[in-house]
Amino acid sequence: MLIENTIHPFTVSVEELEAWSRRPHKHNFFELVYIEKGSGRQCINDHNIAYAADNIFLLPPFDCHSFQIHAPTRFVFIQFNALFFQKDTHQQMDYSNWFNNLHYIISTYNRQPGDIIHNASDKALLINLIKGIEHEYNNKQEQSDSIIRGNMFALLNILVRNFENTFRENNPVPDKAAGDMLQYIQYNLFDNDKLRVDALASEASEFNLSANYVSEYFKKKTGESLKEYILKSRVNVAYSRIQNSGKSMNEIAWELGFTDASHLSKMIKKYFPPSQQHVADNTASCITASL
């Protein structure tokens, strides 16, 4: 399987095609695909579905994908990784912490083919943002980089809002408190202080949850212990970052609260199915180099 790699943290490209000549492939970055015109079928992870004008897809790193073109199609591809959201040298805006928190959600949402936006007003907003990004990228002026980064900030927040709404519809939790707690944990995976039981109790005070009851409540509503859920979520993020952040195993382990690279590798093997464990195995050489 071909794996596309890039050294560029952000690129925008436009292709008008009558046929898709590339074989199914994977890449080590996120890719947003906007169908400006045309029709055909999109394939991702062995599923395929029809696409049409104004469809928008998000392809996470290392998902297998391709297209079948039925009518001439104009694709807008926006490719990005975590490096793009580091400090903006012009405006001194640093989106890295924000992107770290979002990384879990955009890496692990339901990866089925098809349009990711089902809200008409959000779709219109996204299309305008994509066209603005494309314009600034191809007509570089002063402050273009800052404008592009700001548009991407808005774009990804809209995507996350839609992912979360779709998830709630398809996976209803017993009550609002449980859903809000899951969302709070996802957004604060990197902040140990905010994930302490007393902090969660404080956050959930309006739902009358005491510190002594938070863990029991979480297990009752989700079927999983609070500690296990947080650990598994962090491993999920670590797995994705190993593939596309460019950071060493030790850096990732330190950022996410693991003891070291070896500890992180063991956790990946614990939580990922055998078919995916080759990724952890392939990082073994990195562990020695980074210790």
Q: Say which CATH number the domain at 205 has.
A: 1.10.10.60
Q: What total number of domains does the chain contain? A: 2
18 with 154, same domain: the answer is: yes
Q: What is the pLDDT of residue 119?
A: 86
Side-chain half-sphere CA neighbours of 182 within 13 A: 21
Within 10 angstroms of residue 225's Cβ, the number of other Cβ atoms is 13
Do 155 and 117 contact (CB within 8 A), yes or no?
A: no
Residue that wins the pLDDT comparison between 77 and 289: 77
Residue that wins the pLDDT comparison between 284 and 229: 229
226 with 207, same domain: the answer is: yes
Average pLDDT over residues 228-241: 81
The mean-pLDDT minimum among 67-76, 153-162, 230-239 falls in 230-239
Q: 15 is written with which tokens?
A: 């292709």
Is the model's pLDDT at 216 over the cut of 80?
A: yes
Q: State how far the Cα of 181 lies from the Cα of 200, in Å rounded to an integer.
A: 8
Last residue in a domain, options 170, 195, 217: 170
Q: What is the pLDDT of residue 286?
A: 33
Q: What is the pLDDT of residue 108?
A: 60
Is the model's pLDDT at 153 over the cut of 50?
A: yes
193 with 166, same domain: the answer is: no
Q: What is the pLDDT of residue 136?
A: 96
Amino acid 141 reads Q
Q: State how far the Cα of 173 lies from the Cα of 125, in Å rounded to an integer.
A: 29
Q: How far is CA 84 from the centre of its chain?
A: 14
Under the banding of pLDDT at 50, 70 and 90, the label for residue 272 is confident
162 with 189, same domain: the answer is: no
113 with 254, same domain: the answer is: no
Q: Which helix (H) or strand (E) holds 243?
A: helix 226-244
143 with 214, same domain: the answer is: no
Mean of the per-residue pLDDT values for the chain?
Answer: 78
199 with 121, same domain: the answer is: no
Closest of 272, 6, 240 to residue 100, by C-alpha:
240
17 with 135, same domain: the answer is: yes
Q: State how far the Cα of 29 lies from the Cα of 82, in Å rounded to an integer.
A: 9
CB-based contacts of 21: which residues, under 8 Å, 6+ apart? none
Q: What is the pLDDT of residue 15?
A: 95
147 with 278, same domain: the answer is: no
Residue that wins the pLDDT comparison between 48 and 196: 196
232 φ/ψ angles, rounded to the nearest 5 degrees: -65, -40
Residue that wins the pLDDT comparison between 247 and 71: 71
Q: 265 is written with which tokens?
A: 């590798």
134 with 239, same domain: the answer is: no
Tell me, yes or no, if the pTM score tops 0.75: no
280 with 162, same domain: the answer is: no
Structural domain that includes position 7: 2-170
Buried b (16+ CB within 10 A) or exposed e, 59-69: bbbbeebebeb
Is residue 71 helix, strand or coil?
strand
Average pLDDT over residues 18-36: 81
Q: What is the pLDDT of residue 248?
A: 79
Do 197 and 137 contact (CB within 8 A), yes or no?
A: no
Last residue in a domain, options 126, 151, 170: 170
Task: Specify the CATH number for the domain of residue 20.
Answer: 2.60.120.280
Average pLDDT over residues 37-47: 83
Is the model's pLDDT at 34 over the cut of 80?
A: yes
Last residue in a domain, options 140, 170, 200: 170
Strand partners, 37: 74
86 with 118, same domain: the answer is: yes
Q: 241 is written with which tokens?
A: 């970052």
